Every structure is written in C-alpha cells, then in structure tokens.
Amino acid sequence: MKEPSEDGEKREEDGENREEKNKEDAVEKEDGERREEAKEEKGVMEEDVAEEDEEDLESLEWELRNTDSVFSELSELSREYLESVDQGASVRGSTDQFDEIVSQYEELKRTHEMVDAARKALICRVEELTNERSALNLEVSSSQETVARLEGRMREMEEETKRLRNELEAIQSDDPDAVPMSLRRFSRSEMARVVMEKNQYKERLFELQEAVRRAQTLRVTKDERPPVEDRKSSVWTKFNRLFGLAKPPMAPPASLAINVPTVTPTYRSPTTSPQRLSINNTQTEGSFSPRVRRRELYREIRSHVWGTLGKRQVHGWSMPLSHTNVQDSSLLTTEPKDVPVLVQLRLLDQRDATAKLTCAVAVTPEVSKEQMSSVWALSGPASSSDVTIIDPTRSNTILDQFSLPPTSPALCICVVPPTGETSGTIWIGTQDGGLLVHPASTSRRRCLQSVTLAEGVHSLTYSQGKVIAGLANGTLAFFSHSISGWDLQSKEEMSLGAPPVQPIRCCLAKGEGLWVGYWNKIHMIDVTSRKVEKSFTVSERSEQQVRFLCAAGSGVWASCRLDPTLRLFDWATGRPLQEVDLSPMVTKALGAGFLSLSPLQVSALAVICGRLWVGSASGAIFSVPLNLSSESSIPYCTLALAQLCYHGHRQAVKFIISAPGCHTLSSTAEGADSTSQLILSGGEGYINFRIGDDASDGTNENAPQRSERSHMIIWQSASPSVPNPAL
C-alpha cells in the first residue's frame, strides 16, 4: 500500500517544480520587457535632445547673421575709420585680375563661337554625306537591277546562240556543200577596211605609173641631150648659164617631150634577180643624184621661160600667155590691171627642219576680236603636228607656236566665227579621229574641247551655226551649238554611199546649201534637213576623186585628183558650164620638161579677188581673171589671159588662202585708198623659175638647204568690186 503513495508524492513534487520553473520564466520575460521599454524610452529621449540641439544651433546662427546692408554698415562707421581702411587698401590687384578674367572670358567666347561654327559645318557635311549616301544607294540599287537585267538578257542571248548553233549544225549536217563558218566571218567594218586599202593601193599604182612615165621621159630626154660642158668653165660661161645664154641648148625640143608615148610599167620575170635589175637601172638612169637631176630640169625650165615668156614681167608675174607670141614689143598691149603684188617670201620658222606644211587658215579680226589678222599653219612629220601662228602683215613675226598631242598628224583646220555667247574658235581634225577646239585669240595653246571619233577627220566646214566634219568612211558628222557652247558628244551622222568608201576631203558651204565631193560625184545637201537634194557626176572615170571646190558668183569650180581639167558648174542646178584643160597652158609657160617633175594635177584651188588661183603638184602657181560683174554672174575664165608667177615652190602647193582686211594699200594716183587682201600660198621649198637652182651647185647633197624648207609666198591684191559670197 506504500508504493502508490510514493508515486503520488513524486507526482506532486514534479508538479511543484514545474510551477516554479514557469514562475521563473514569467519573471524573466517581465524583466526583458522592462529592459526593452527602458531602451525605447532612452532612444526617444536622445532623439528629442538632438532635435532640441539642432533648433538651438539654427536659432544661434540666425541670431549671429547680419541682415544689414553694406551702405547702412558703412554709414554707421566714422570718417576716420574709413580713411584708415582706404589708405591700407589696394584696388589695382583686383583690377588686373578682373581684366584677366574678362580676357579669358572673351577668349572662351571666341573658342565657343569657333566650336559652334565647326559643329554647324560638321552637321552640314553630315547631311551632305547622308544625301550622297542615299543617292549612291539608289544608284547601286539601280545598277544592281541593270546588272540583273543584263545578266538575264545575256542568259537569253546565250540560249538563243546555242539554239542557233544547233540549228546551223543541223543545217550543215544536212548540206555537206555548205561554206564553213570560218569563211563567213566578214563584217561590214572589215569589208570597208579592205575596200579602203584597195583604193589606197590603186592610188599608189597610179602614182607609180606616173613615176615610171616620168622616168621613161627623162631617160629619153637624156639620151637625146648633148654632152654637158665641163663644170670647171670660165666665169663668163657661168655668167651666160645664169641668164640662159649658154651656146649648147639645155632644153630638149618641145616636140620630143610632148610626143613621148606613155610607157607602161615593165614587170620583171621571176628569174630576174633584184641585183641585176638595180644594176641595169643604175646604168640607165646615170650616176646623178635626184637633186642634180632636178637642178638640170630647173635649168631647162629657166631656158624655156626666158625664150618663151621673154624679159617682160609684172610684179613677179608673166604677161598673159596670149601676149607671149607677139614679136614686136610696140604691138604689146598695156599691162593687165589688178595684178597681185609680191610683198613677202617667208621662210616658215619650224622647230623641225624636215617638217612639211599640211594646211593653213586665216583668222579675221571679226573672229578673233583683235585688231590684226593671223594665220594658223599646220606642219610636222608623219606622226604629229605643230601649230605656227603668224602675222601676215609683219615679216618674220611669230605670234605663237605649240605642238598638238603626239597621237596622229593633223589633216584639216577650220575657223568657226562667234556663235551666241561663244567666242571664235579654231577646229583641228586629226587622222586618228581626234577633234580639237582652240580659242582664236587669247590662250591659243589651251584646248577648250576635244573628242575622238571612230574615223579620221579629213575636212571641216562651218555652215549655218553647225560644224560639218568629213570622215574617212564617207560619213558627214554634224555638230550643233547649244546654250552652254559646242556639244561635241552628241552629233548627227549622214552617210553618202555604200562601200567602197572614200574619205570626204572637200566640202563647200554657201547659204543653206552644202556641196560635198565624194568619189567622182558631187552631192548637193540641205544643211537644215540633212538630205541629199541632187547628185551629179563630175568625171566619167569612176576611180576619180573630187578634191577641190571653190565658189564665185553663181558658179562653182571643181577639180579632181590626177586630172588637169577644171570644170565649172552652176550653183543652183549643178549644170556643167565650162571645162578648161590646163595642160596646154602649163606646157606653153614652163615647157615640156616641167611635166617631168610631177604629174600635172591641181594641188590647190581658190577664187580670190576676182581671180582663179591654181597651184600645181610641181609647185607652179597660175592666176586667171574671171568674168565677174555681179553676184549672180557666171565666173567664166579664159586661159589666154592666164599669168604664171615666177615665184613658186619645189614641191606641191599645199594651200592658197586669203587674209581679208589685214592690210591697206597706199594711196593711188588719184589720192584714194583702196582696200586689199593678202593671198598666201604654202609649200615645200622656194624656186624662181627665171633663175633656176644654180645657187646650190657646190652644196652638200645630204645637207638640207634653206630653199628646200617650208616657205610661204605672200601677195597683195585689191579687193574686187563685186564681193564673193563664198569667201
């Protein structure tokens, strides 16, 4: 019975212990709560104390702050105090600092303005670059589209080519006799080139035939000539030779030279060796050099001139040929009127002594806007050209001289008058198709414009505000004038015929009409509509080529290559009016020996001052008066009134031009002045047919002589009473 009671006691003790622990825990909690409350109260008190301290500091600062103005403070001070302060103060240091600050401010202001301007410029540049980028992006996109389109077309063309090739192979397989493709590849351009080469070879053949004929004539005359006297003769013999009074006849009979038949070229057999042929030619032709043979021919011509034309001359010209047969001097009529007067024999000062003249043109004061006229002459070797500008009124005066680009020689030159706001210009055409435009007055060396055409430029003509270029393939190129100037990039072309083609070397413009010489025909073209109105044949020989056209009154004189005949046509209808053969005139004036120098053909033709000027391929110059009474009269001529100029060239006369209004004649017998023109001829060398070439007997054969270089012969003539619209 004790065990249950003990358990109960233990339970009671455990319960008491638990109660005590609970009480202790409750006491500890109450103590912790009291401590936390005390801490909170302490923090609140500290915050209140800090706020009170801040309020006290603010009130102290406000109490210590001076709210009075400077004026009130200074007004309360005494005068002695202010004077003592003023004596001890220094304001200069503050002023210097202020000035320095102001200068720094101004500098900063300028720097700011510069930076602002640079910023604005950068903004503008960025905008420009942005616009350019957008434009380039558009161009790139369009180029890409074009490339894609062209690639598509190229693929289509490749497919078309494959299809055509397959069809061609199928056709060739069906037709075994068909021509191979390698033999069919012959384009139109190649055909034109071959035809042009054929024409050139044909021209060379004609020239060789003429040279062989001259050689045969010279050989016959040498066989019939008596032996030449010893060169070591006396002084009197040389004096007689100088005036053509030597006893042995130096010229062969005229009948001998005229009746010599034309010898065809002899072709050697294949078995004949070249060395044997050269030895035979050397033995036949003799041991004389070409210069010596030419000198002997000039002596023969001199003897003929003195014997036929006599001693009488007019300003360096012979009497009219109709007066040469009159034996009695008393029966001779008066001297002819309006004969050109020789004023200059001018050696062209060229950089290269071997350069040859090509062409020339006169620039009037109306074109150049200068007080004097000038002459542009083109010369040079076979690969390039030089331009020499001279004043024809002053001897030995060169205004300017320069070289053209060394690409190809120049073939033609043309003066273009002022058009609109564009001043006068000079156009030059080259063999490789180059077209150069230079100013006519100041800065002549500067090339204003240039363009390269597909064919060589052989002629240039100005008409109705357009420049017409004659090309090597028989095509006319028309260049027009726009507001900004001459437009060389866009041109209109006009073809004159089918192959075989030939270069267009001569054009004549008058009003709205244009005459063009092509092969043996003349085409009358309307410049405005660019249509051929009429064409007519000049010569019956189809291989002939019209080379020269010159207008006077209502007629046009024409000349063909390798043809001594001049033909006169009506300007309006093209009807032939007159034909003149120059062979009797040349033979009568210079003798048959003159024909041995070169085949008789016209190398220059012009109508100046009421006269028809004719330059031959051998260097002789003739002038024939024309019947011009009004602008509508027909310019007929009579060879009986023709006159030979004793001053000529050693080779072909390259040009005969006029410089109008650049010189004035002296007063006439009545005291009145008359306007005049200068006529210039250019060619290689100079010769006086009355003196010959005896001055070069002792010269070196290899050294070039002064008389063999390029010369200009200048005459002065009164202007005709009837103006020529073509000049």
pLDDT tens-digit readout, 1-17: 445 566 677 777 777 77
pLDDT more than 90, % of the chain = 28
pLDDT band at 278 (very low <50, low <70, confident <90, very high): very low
| Cβ atoms of residues 647 and 342 within 8 Å | yes
Decide which of 287, 302, 337 is a domain's last residue.
287
Q: What pLDDT is stored for residue 483 in this prediction?
A: 81
Report CA 337 to chain centroid distance, whole Å: 42
Cβ neighbours, 10 Å, residue 135: 10
**What average pLDDT score do residues 446-452 get?**
91
Beta strands in 113-180 (DSSP E): none
Q: What pLDDT is stored for residue 532 in this prediction?
A: 92
Q: What pLDDT is stored for residue 268 in this prediction?
A: 39
Q: What pLDDT is stored for residue 185 in this prediction?
A: 61
**What average pLDDT score do residues 363-370 get?**
88
Residues 408 and 540 in one domain: yes
Q: Enter the tokens of residue 528.
A: 């405005």
| DSSP state string for 564-617 | -EEEEEETTT--EEEEEE-HHHHHHHH-GGGGGTS---EEEEEEETTEEEEEET
**What average pLDDT score do residues 474-498 get?**
88
DSSP for residue 431: T
* C-alpha dihedral sign at 187, 189, 192, 194: negative
What span, in angstroms and rounded, lies between the C-alpha atoms of 517 and 545?
Answer: 8
CA dist 34 → 21, 43, 614, 711 (Å) = 20, 14, 148, 141
Amino acid at 713: I
Is pLDDT above 80 for 145?
yes
Residue with more model confidence, 227 or 292: 292
Query: Which range has the worst mean pLDDT, 76-80, 359-363, 419-423, 465-469?
Result: 76-80
Q: What pLDDT is stored for residue 329 in this prediction?
A: 47
pLDDT, the chain, mean: 78
Cβ within 8 Å of residue 666, ≥6 positions away: 673
Cis amide prior to 500 (ω within 30 degrees): yes
The domain of 526 spans 404-544
**What average pLDDT score do residues 34-42 get?**
78
Q: What pLDDT is stored for residue 362 in this prediction?
A: 93
Helices (H) and strands (E) in the chain, counts: 11, 32
Q: Enter the tokens of residue 34.
A: 């009291």
* C-alpha dihedral sign at 702, 703, 705, 708: positive
Kindly report, residue by residue over 251-272, the tens digit of the pLDDT: 333 333 333 333 333 333 333 3
What span, in angstroms and rounded, lies between the C-alpha atoms of 413 and 362?
Answer: 10
Domain-embedded: residue 410: yes
Report CA 248 to chain centroid distance, whole Å: 56
Kindly report, residue by residue over 204-214, the tens digit of the pLDDT: 787 787 778 77
Domain-embedded: residue 279: yes
Is pLDDT above 70 for 350?
no
pLDDT band at 347 (very low <50, low <70, confident <90, very high): confident
Query: Which range has the worst mean pLDDT, 45-49, 372-376, 431-435, 655-659?
Result: 45-49
Helix H, strand E, coil C: the string for 492-514 is: EEEECCCCCCCCCCEEEEECCEE
**What average pLDDT score do residues 415-421 get?**
86
Decide which of 287, 322, 337 is a domain's last residue.
287
Residue with more model confidence, 453 or 65: 453
What span, in angstroms and rounded, lies between the C-alpha atoms of 441 and 317?
Answer: 35
What span, in angstroms and rounded, lies between the C-alpha atoms of 86 and 98?
Answer: 20
Q: What pLDDT is stored for residue 221 in this prediction?
A: 67
Amino acid at 257: A
Q: What pLDDT is stored for residue 328 in this prediction?
A: 47
Domain-embedded: residue 577: no
DSSP for residue 181: G
Is pLDDT above 90 for 126?
yes
Residue with more model confidence, 241 or 628: 628
Comparing CA positions, the residue from 364, 361, 369, 365 lying closest to residue 387 is 361
Q: Alpha-carbon Rg of the chain, whole angstroms?
A: 53
Comparing CA positions, the residue from 582, 532, 571 lying closest to residue 549 is 571
Domain-embedded: residue 632: no
Q: What pLDDT is stored for residue 352 in this prediction?
A: 72
Domain-embedded: residue 187: no
Q: What pLDDT is stored for residue 165 in this prediction?
A: 87
Q: What pLDDT is stored for residue 232 in this prediction?
A: 42
Q: Tell me the range of 223-227, 273-277, 561-565 where mean pLDDT is highest.
A: 561-565
Residues 409 and 281 in one domain: no
What span, in angstroms and rounded, lies between the C-alpha atoms of 320 and 644?
Answer: 8
Comparing CA positions, the residue from 649, 651, 682, 604 lying closest to residue 388 is 682
Residue with more model confidence, 457 or 676: 457
Residue with more model confidence, 96 or 197: 96
| Coarse DSSP helix, strand, coil percentages of the chain, rounded to the nearest 5 percent | 40, 25, 35
pLDDT band at 188 (very low <50, low <70, confident <90, very high): low
Is pLDDT above 50 for 651?
yes
Domain-embedded: residue 215: yes
Is pLDDT above 50 for 45?
yes
Residue with more model confidence, 109 or 179: 109
Is pLDDT above 90 for 26?
no
Kindly report, residue by residue over 280-321, the tens digit of the pLDDT: 444 444 445 677 888 888 888 888 888 888 778 888 888 887
Cβ neighbours, 10 Å, residue 376: 22
Cβ within 8 Å of residue 123, ≥6 positions away: none
Kindly report, residue by residue over 322-339, the tens digit of the pLDDT: 766 554 444 455 677 788
Domain-embedded: residue 65: no
pTM, full prediction: 0.61
Decide which of 218, 252, 287 is a domain's last residue.
287
The number of domains in the chain is: 2
Cβ within 8 Å of residue 612, ≥6 positions away: 550, 552, 557, 566, 605, 606, 623, 624, 625, 626, 635, 637
Residue with more model confidence, 99 or 79: 99
| Cβ atoms of residues 389 and 398 within 8 Å | yes
Q: What pLDDT is stored for residue 699 in this prediction?
A: 55
| Cβ atoms of residues 254 and 592 within 8 Å | yes
Q: Tell me the range of 72-86, 107-121, 675-689 where mean pLDDT is highest.
A: 107-121
Give the CATH number, domain containing residue 504: 2.130.10.10
Q: What pLDDT is stored for residue 57 in this prediction?
A: 77
CA dist 309 → 273, 390, 645 (Å) = 48, 35, 11
Query: Which range has the worst mean pLDDT, 113-127, 227-241, 457-471?
Result: 227-241
Query: Which range has the worst mean pLDDT, 25-29, 90-94, 481-485?
Result: 90-94
Comparing CA positions, the residue from 407, 429, 403, 613 lying closest to residue 504 is 429
Domain-embedded: residue 691: no
Instruction: State phi, psi for 158 to the nearest 5 degrees.
Output: -60, -40
**What average pLDDT score do residues 222-226 get?**
56
Q: What pLDDT is stored for residue 398 in this prediction?
A: 87
Q: What pLDDT is stored for residue 459 in this prediction?
A: 95
pLDDT band at 665 (very low <50, low <70, confident <90, very high): very low
For 714, the enclosing helix (H) or strand (E) is strand 710-718
